[in-house]
Amino acid sequence: MTRGNGKERPEEKQNGLQKVIDGIVDPFYIINVPDYKVVFANKAARKNDINKNCLCYAATHHSEVPCRDLGLSCPIEILTKTKQPVSLEHVHFNKQGDPQYFEINAYPLLESGGTVKQIVIQAIDVTKRKINEQSIIESEKRYRQLYEASRDGYVLVNMQGQIQEHNHAFQEMLGYNSQEIKKLGHQDVTPAKWHDLEKKIIEEQVMALGYSELYEKEYLRKDGSCVPVELRTYLIHSEEGTPTGMWSFVRDISERKEIEEKLNQLQNLIALEKRKLEEVLNINPAMASISNLNHLVDFVIEKSTKILEIERCSLMLLDNHTNELTIRGAKGLNDKYITTTRIRMGEPLAGLVAKTGQPLLVNDIEQEKSIGRQNRQSYKSKSFMIVPIMLKNKMVGVVNVSDKKSRDEPHFSGIDLRILCTIVSQAATAIENASNYRELEFLSISDPLTGIFNYRYFTRTLDMEIERAHRYLGPFCLLMLDIDNFKSYNDTYGHPAGDILLKRISAVVKNNLRAVDIVCRYAGDEFVAILPQTNIDQAKTVAKKIIDSIQNLKCKRTVSVSIGVGEQSHHSDRRDLILKTDQALYQAKREGKGRICCFK
């Protein structure tokens, strides 16, 4: 409504301005500077309890004191000093005390003298934005805490492979400080042997799919050592979709690799011990079939060295007459030591094991308190085992092993000891069987009166020597010896005296022969001696020594023998050789006895 002269009345003008300002969606109000009173407020401001004639701090903070006394920034104070428009963030509080965040745009209204009389405020509610920003900040903070506290490493590289960002775990993993690591490229911390593989993974997986499958590689630490890792790499794009870098999640798998290595070693050890035990179980049938003691000893030594993977092994048997241990067979020892070594019961160390009957396992001879002696230079390691050979609580001998071949584990283990004990236990029974067999065989091939070999053994051995002589074309002779006038000696002094004479003469003949020569009782008072690698002249010399030794025997009366010597020809057999030798003996008897005759 206007006046007739067309001029608006002041109140009408103010109402029109009020309507315009009420149309502003954000709170808009004017504050009187001296007394903090609101002199004007639009509709949006009034909704926030900012009304005309109210105190601004009472309306915006529900406080009895101005902003400055609450420790808050105050637009009035800022504009009073600067006299310039200002934009700032300001917090209001509702009646419940909840904060509301506003972006304040404040403008000063100056008096003619330049003093700020009033300020005009436009308040834009940014509470939601502030809460969202705070939420983002908190989320980022939590992410950063997780990122830095993670035990796994994170590393960001650009498309040229230069390290852009990393967390503390990655830094610790490589041993660099933060500044050092950012100067490095990804290939600088990757051993060369992994470059081609990783390049292929990036090309075929990361660039093609946007990510890689988990894969393993190594990183090169600052000190030059390598750390095994497991990682997955993701491709990063810009807003325009252009690849800008790669982000990798990295996990140190050193502990896992160590466990895998130990597990692998354990599996290999189990497989090895399984194989050893299978071999031990399989040797029993083979061992039981060996009747020759020497062959049995060699078999035990061979199997022990193979199964236990050792370089030295010796088997010692107890001599019940001297109560000493002697080496019956060995591997890795010199011949002189084998032939000269004799250890009495109770003497270190084999003698102690033989005396106690308890196995001995030593890891370090120099550290073992019960031994405490310097290791001999000829031995490669300080660990050894000695196991007694027991049969029905009776000491038979011992087995000694040393110098394990394994460089990774040079010491013998408890499993090694159990394996050796099992082998020795089987060997004890086999040794008893071989000894019994040898005794039975000896009884079957020996003469019960004189103890020398009998006719059966003579014919068997003579055939073997004839065959050997034919094969190697070597000399070979046979002696046939007959006691002169033995029937008369028997008739005069009786059969017991005759038996004694037979024993003494057999002993004389045996003592005048070599170890390779074989003496046998042929029949009654006749003896034969097989002389391998002996020609006719050498055989005559041996026969002469026998005749002289028998003539020197102190008997009931003087005793002599006649000896026939036969030499093996390359075309004769056992019958021919015996016949020739018997003819030579007959010739010696016919020519007066007590003499030697030869037949070539």
Catalytic residue positions? 525
In DSSP terms, 245 is beta-bridged to 158, 236
User: In 3-state terms, what secondary structure has residue 548?
Assistant: helix
| Residue position matching structure tokens 């007066």 | 592
b (16+ CB within 10 A) / e for 81-115: eeeeeeeeebbbeeeeeeebbbbbbbebeeeeeee
DSSP string, 232-300: EEEEEE-TTS-EEEEEEEEEE-HHHHHHHHHHHHHHHHHHHHHHHHHHHHHHHHHHHT---HHHHHHHH
CA distance 56 to 39: 10
Q: How many residues does the chain have?
A: 600
Which residues have C-beta within 8 Å of that of residue 101, sequence separation ≥ 6?
89, 90, 91, 92, 125, 126, 127, 129, 130, 131
Asked whether the CA dihedral 62, 65, 68, 69 is positive or negative, the reply is negative
- Which among 118, 153, 141 is positioned nearest to 39, based on CA atoms? 118
Which residues have C-beta within 8 Å of that of residue 298, sequence separation ≥ 6?
329
Which residues have C-beta within 8 Å of that of residue 342, sequence separation ≥ 6?
322, 324, 325, 326
Contact 345, 353 (CB under 8 A): no
CA 519 to chain centre: 59
Residue type, 331: K
CA distance 418 to 359: 10
User: In whole angstroms, how far apart are CA 88 and each of 79, 91, 126, 246, 278?
Assistant: 12, 10, 12, 40, 88
| Nearest-5° Cα angle at 462, 459 to 463 | 90
Q: Are strands 526-532 and 561-567 parallel, antiparallel or unpaired?
A: unpaired
Contacts 24+ apart (CB under 8 A), 89-98: 89/126, 89/130, 90/60, 90/123, 92/48, 92/60, 92/61, 92/123, 93/60, 93/61, 93/62, 93/63, 94/62, 95/49, 95/62, 97/62
The two tokens of residue 36 are 């903090």
- Which among 451, 475, 587 is positioned nearest to 531, based on CA atoms? 475
The two tokens of residue 238 are 């810009």
CA distance 555 to 136: 127
CA distance 296 to 284: 11
Reading phi first (left if > 0) and then psi (alpha if -120 to 50, else beta), residue 451 is in left
